[in-house]
Structure 1
Amino acid sequence: MAKPSVVLQAAAAYQPDDDPFFRKMIGLRELPMRIGARMRGKHAEVAPPFGLHNFVALEQQDDALAYGLIGRFWRPDFGLISVSDGAAYRDFNMAGVAKLALVFSVKPQTDKITKLETETRVFCPDLASRLKFTPYWYLIRPVSGLIRGRILNSIKRESENSRN
């Protein structure tokens, strides 16, 4: 039981790197990239493990928080393209590159009970990116669902442990 502001604050503070399951699944997802880099002698050039630090904050309102990510997610290295802020994210438009938005929203149910929802939307600007993203999504979807459930449970625990 927590107020919407407390729940949204816990969502904003969430760090998936603290979850061993998340770290293992990301490690497994990145294994081909890391093996390939090691075989090419470029292990030192590989980015740190994927996490929320790869996202850009798009917007925060009293009842929602949104993050964005741009890339060719189906590639072993995620094909990430870094942008500086929400405006750069919104303005970005390149064929073959997908944009992902992750939103946390809160809805009060009673005085102290809040419903937290999360939604991920992916925009593929062309047929080529859709044809590459779709099989990737079906492959990662089950694990993505498990991770999302763990994120929501973690935020719930943190919200309930916080002082309202």
Structure 2
Amino acid sequence: MAFLGFVSERECQQWKGASPYLPAFSFYEQHQSEPIHASPEAIIQAVLSLDMTEDPIIRRLLMLRQLPGKFWQSLTRIKKTEQPAAFGFDTFTLLHHGSHEVSLGLTGRFWRPMLDVKKLETAEEFHRFTAPDAAKLVLRFSVTQDSAGLATLSTETFVWCPTPQVKARFACYWAAIRPASGWIRRRTLRSVQQKLATSAT
């Protein structure tokens, strides 16, 4: 399933464990951490308090993503005040926060040079968002524990596109950014693990 992150309509219909905030989707990505010696509640809290720019690799990758926007800005002479803020978890909409899971939502035309995302304040706004020219994304972090009490943190990305045109645009973007996106997800999981290890000492 999900060959290179692309999900067919049939695969989506048979999918188990899809996000209730995005039951239909065409793109999917998943990563898992190494075993973590911490409670699920502590792990989820560490995710929510994480500053992605503290990791030098993630910071450089995010800066690299902003380069097309800065180049476009210089060509079109867009005012600096119109430049979007730095991308991070606070850009997302909090959809769900539980003891073992947190889900974040994001909407917009991610493939555009300026990373055209729309900030929505509530889960209800995210649910009602139906712009025909924008995609919807859910980022889910969930914690599972084995019989020995060791926890594993997983991150899943679901993306839904409302029209074939949007799907085609996002597919090109997905193919280009997926290696870097996967690297960021893995670094994020490692940062959470290191943060918890440091706090435990």
Q: Which residue matches 1:20?
A: 56
State the distance in 1 between where 2:145 and 2:197 align.
14
The answer on whether the counterparts of 2:72 and 2:113 sit within 8 Å (CA) in structure 1 is no
Q: RMSD value over aligned CA atoms? A: 1.6
User: How many percent identity over aligned positions?
Assistant: 34
CA–CA separation in structure 2 for the residues paired with 1:41 and 1:125 = 29
**Does residue 67 of structure 2 align to residue 67 of structure 1?**
no
Task: State the shift of 1:112 in Å.
Answer: 3.9
**More helix as a share of residues:** 1
Secondary structure of 1:80's counterpart equals: strand
Q: Which runs of 5+ in 1 are unaligned?
A: none
The answer on 1:117 being equivalent to 2:159 is no
Distance (whole Å) between structure 2 residues aligned to residue 44 and residue 146 of structure 1: 30
Deviation by residue 1:71-91 (Cα, 9 ceiling, x = unmatched) = 000001121112111110011
Q: Aligned runs of 1:49-64 on 2, under 5 Å?
A: 49-64=86-101
| Pairing of 1:1-164 with structure 2 (within 5 A) | 1-39=37-75, 40=77, 42-163=79-200
Partner Cα separation in structure 2 for residue 73 and residue 124 of structure 1:
11
- Give, in angstroms, the shift of residue 111 of structure 1: 4.9
CA displacement 1:18-46 (0-9 Å, x = unmatched): 11111211111111211222341523321
Give the structure-1-normalised TM-score: 0.93
Unmatched 5+ stretches in structure 2: 1-36
Q: Equivalents in 1 of 2:138, 2:78: separation in Å?
A: 34
Deviation at 1:48, TM superposition (A): 2.1
CA contact (8 A) 1:3 1:111 kept: no
